[in-house]
Amino acid sequence: MAAMRIPATVITGFLGAGKTTLIRRLIEQADGRRLALIVNEFGDVGVDGEVLASCGVENCSADDIIELANGCICCTVADDFLPSMQKLLEQVPAPDHIIIETSGLALPQPLVQAFAWPDIRQRVMLDGVVTVVDGAALADGMVAADLNALEAQRQADPELDHETPVDELFRDQVAAANILIVSKGDLIDGAAGERVTRRLNALTDGTTPVMITRGDTAPLKAIFGLGLEDEAFARSEHFDHHHHHHDDDHDDDHGHDAFHSVVLRLPMLDDHEAFIRNLTATVAEHGLLRAKGFLAIRGKALPLTVQAVGARVDSYFGGTLKDDEGRLVLIGLKQTDMAAIASSLGGEMIAGGMIAGAA
């Protein structure tokens, strides 16, 4: 059986945008999963005092990799990204998900290209690029709350481009994103939220999903897809409205935080390439946030593992199926027409409902 590849997510955004809050919440909500974080400095994610042990890998200093009390591990980029990734992949047990944090002052494309490196590509699958945007600042017409601090951060790093205007760097990070997270949604009203969304949609031609988060809540399942591969088979074979709609009463107050999640059952496919083309078009048409699961392909011993984040769709043969039918978990905004998506993909909805923004 081919091993499942480890999903990796790149998180970018300017100083003060809310990356640290998002990452710390992710650590808190790991729920038994072993997360690996690649950051510039341990202090960036506030792990001081939470260190349990060093990594225990030969020739690996505790200054490079540390283990947190909840089993997650944290790694700094000592010399180069690839050696840092290789150190993480040597961990036993291996991480369940890798998170790479960048400053937003350097474009994530070099990181994205690094996932094509043979030693990395065989073990890791790029889940997507998440750009965190300061919603309160953007509502006021600024790309960051403290432009002076941002510029000081840039000038302090000799390896960064000091000439490109900050507004252009912002446009570049937005363009690189598969999902856009607007932080500090509790500090802006509905009209301001709509302005922010329109501005971001104008930069992406509306092709990149925009999520507005409030306070320290974040739709971790929608952003990172944690546990979706298990959920594809664990969810009920029938709609359980009482269980899955317990958050519906909050929709009016937390409209930005509610997401629709369904599980599709799919028949064995004859042409997986045609299905991937159809999925790519369907994701773009309906603005689906995420799709993840396994497909049964006629004539193939292994299932096709499929993962879509925004407009990015990837697949490879690997994993396991419990029967000869595929399962695909879909996550969209609460207004997403899941029935139309299911019809387009030729699947049957077997479970679904609303999920809270706090994951």
DSSP string, 111-124: HHHHTTSHHHHTTE
Helix or strand holding residue 351 (H, E): strand 348-355
pLDDT value of position 258: 64
- The token duo for 288 is 């689906």
pLDDT value of position 52: 27
- The token duo for 276 is 């991937």
Q: Determine the Cα–Cα distance for residues 310 and 204; give it in Å rounded to an integer.
A: 12
Distances (CA, A) of 300 to 3, 272, 293: 16, 10, 16
pTM here is 0.75
Say which amino acid occupies 158.
P
Pairing of β 312-317 and β 326-333:
unpaired
Buried-exposed string 107-131: b where 16+ CB fall within 10 A, e elsewhere: bbeebeebbeeeebeebbbbbbbbb
pLDDT value of position 73: 55
CA angle 75, 81, 87 (to 5 degrees): 50
Nearest to 195 by CA among 133, 103, 145, 285: 133
Q: Contact at 8 Å (CB) between 349 and 341? A: no
Q: Which residues pair with 352 in a beta bridge?
A: 262
The strands making up 35-39's β-sheet, listed across from edge to edge, are 51-54, 65-68, 73-76, 35-39, 97-101, 6-12, 124-134, 179-183, 210-212
Residue-wise pLDDT tens for the chain (359 aa)?
567 888 888 899 998 898 878 887 877 777 778 888 877 654 444 443 333 233 333 333 444 454 545 555 555 554 567 777 887 888 888 888 888 888 778 777 777 787 888 888 888 888 889 999 999 999 999 999 999 988 888 888 777 777 888 899 999 999 989 899 999 988 999 999 999 999 999 999 888 888 888 866 666 777 777 655 555 555 434 434 444 443 333 333 334 456 778 899 999 999 999 999 999 999 888 888 888 888 999 999 899 989 888 888 888 898 777 788 899 989 887 788 999 999 999 999 887 655 554 33
The strands making up 312-317's β-sheet, listed across from edge to edge, are 312-317, 304-309, 290-295, 326-333, 259-266, 348-355
Q: Which domains does the chain have, with CATH numbers?
A: 6-218 (3.40.50.300), 226-355 (3.30.1220.10)
- The token duo for 74 is 């944290």
Q: Contact at 8 Å (CB) between 219 and 359? A: yes
pLDDT value of position 121: 84
Q: Determine the Cα–Cα distance for residues 9 and 22; give it in Å rounded to an integer.
A: 13
Q: Contact at 8 Å (CB) between 320 and 303? A: yes
Cα dihedral 106, 110, 115, 119 in deg (nearest 10)? -110
